[in-house]
Amino acid sequence: MTAFRPERLSAVVSTIKEQSNHTGIIAYGDGRNYGDLGMRRNGCAIISNRLDRFLSFDKERGVVAVETGVTFAGLHAFASARGFLPPVVPGTAFVTLGGAVASDIHGKNHDSQGCLGEHIEWLDLVLASGEAIRASRTEHPDLFSATIGGCGLTGFIAAIGLKLKKLRANAVRAREWRVKDLDQFLDLMQEYRNSSTYTVGWVDALQRGGSLGRGIFQAAEPIFVEGRRASLTPRGIPFTCPDITLNQYSVRAFNAIYFRRVPINGRERTLSYELFHHPLDRVVNWNRLYGKKGFLQFQCVLPDESARIGIRQMLERISSVQAASFLGVLKTFGKEGLGDLSFPRSGVTLSLDIPVRHGGCKLVECLDALALDHGGRVYLAKDATLTPDRFALMYPKLDKFRETLSIYDPTGVFDSDLAQRLKIRTGHQ
């Protein structure tokens, strides 16, 4: 894959015009997605991290205009200094805004705030022809909805107009519960999903029987603490660990310790904004824990009516093969996302890291099938195993998305390995 790292929009236009006859162009941000969304074998990657300027800020409306390579860390620093916060943030602050739009990211407050796409005012894109165009809810609305969550296939996202949330906060006040099983977990999530700003849960995916689905549930509110500074002190994993490091015994021990850190009767504590939203950012190269073969990340959402039985079946499957995962997350989602290929829908989402070794790929494929069986869908930003037929069944607006691509990129200049694998453009490649 050939890589270009432009510093100005004019260089992006030139690159697209020069490379349009070659095999596939795809934008590449900070490389934080877990699958093949930002890759094109034998193609061209336009790396956006030098396109990181703040273009304007309307303080009255709270709308900031940024280039595509601005990260959430940079956005938070800019916004918080002016009494604002990003309305939605992902699990890492290193994600670029362009990548966030292409995946229509969600956070721990989806029930109240939805996805990032809900808060986007407009998008400036460079099309396959090299033409610069602005898309919004009123200008080229078909392109606007296709680009949000569109995996970077509609064009190069050059700039974003994002509406911020007026809020002076630098911390969260979190209430935590030790949860005994999946039923209690889901009951708590339903109870607090509409009354708390943030809700999230950690689930011990190795548990079986009466303890299946045990974990820790958090409900939190943003607060301002005078004099509090960010508490993230990065610590690194200096080398790639041997494959044996993470096994059912070491992960089971870790999970037991992590579970018992919360008292039986629960607790309340104040956490920095950064630590609450981006806990793994303080562990540099944490992926090295999974050894040379690495891991697959799986995330699905199941509708409320089937979530209880569907997630139970998934956790039973994971625990039966003792897939060593210490990163299991449960959250609730609100309404359907704005984009044609937006991932969220009303329901419950489960996210896990699965080691590749010892049948990890087959396990994730099984989880893909279970998600479909229960009317759910898989998150494309974290996918590496989904098949074209399952993908088409999970995303009902796919035909609409394909129609938009045929208008704005009829020859398929923007392409990726994910698009090829899932046959996103036509379904017949």
pLDDT string in tens for the chain (429-residue length): 788 999 999 999 999 998 877 779 999 988 877 788 888 888 999 999 999 999 999 999 999 999 999 999 999 999 999 999 999 999 999 999 999 999 999 999 999 999 999 999 999 999 999 999 999 999 999 999 999 999 999 999 999 999 999 998 999 999 999 999 999 999 999 999 999 999 999 999 889 999 999 999 999 999 999 876 655 555 555 545 555 566 677 788 888 888 999 999 999 999 999 999 998 787 766 566 666 777 789 999 999 999 999 999 999 999 888 766 767 999 999 999 999 999 999 999 999 988 887 688 899 999 999 999 999 999 999 999 999 999 999 999 999 999 999 999 999 999 999 999 999 987 644
* Confidence at residue 19, expressed as pLDDT on a 0 to 100 scale: 84
CA 91 to CA 79: how far, in whole Å?
18
CA 89 to CA 99: how far, in whole Å?
12
* Confidence at residue 291, expressed as pLDDT on a 0 to 100 scale: 67
* Confidence at residue 228, expressed as pLDDT on a 0 to 100 scale: 62
- Report all structural domains of the chain as residue ranges with CATH numbers, in order of start: 2-167+392-422 (3.30.465.10), 171-386 (3.30.70.2520)
* Confidence at residue 428, expressed as pLDDT on a 0 to 100 scale: 45
List the beta bridge partners of residue 283. Answer: 235
Whole-number Cα distances in Å, 205 to 12, 174, 259: 44, 23, 12
**Nearest to residue 89, comparing CAs of 68, 73, 67?**
73
Strand residue runs (E) in 328-398 = 328-333, 347-355, 377-378
CA 96 to CA 101: how far, in whole Å?
9
Length of the chain (residues): 429
CA 232 to CA 238: how far, in whole Å?
18
What are the residues whose beta carbons fall under 8 Å from the beta carbon of 81, sequence distance 6 or more?
none
- State whether the Cα torsion 64-70-72-77 is positive or negative: negative
DSSP for 331-345 reads EEE-SPPSSTT----
Other CB atoms within 10 Å distance of the CB of residue 182: 21
* Confidence at residue 429, expressed as pLDDT on a 0 to 100 scale: 43
CA 378 to CA 302: how far, in whole Å?
9
Identity of the amino acid at 92: T
What are the residues whose beta carbons fall under 8 Å from the beta carbon of 378, sequence distance 6 or more?
298, 299, 300, 343, 368, 371, 386, 390, 391, 394
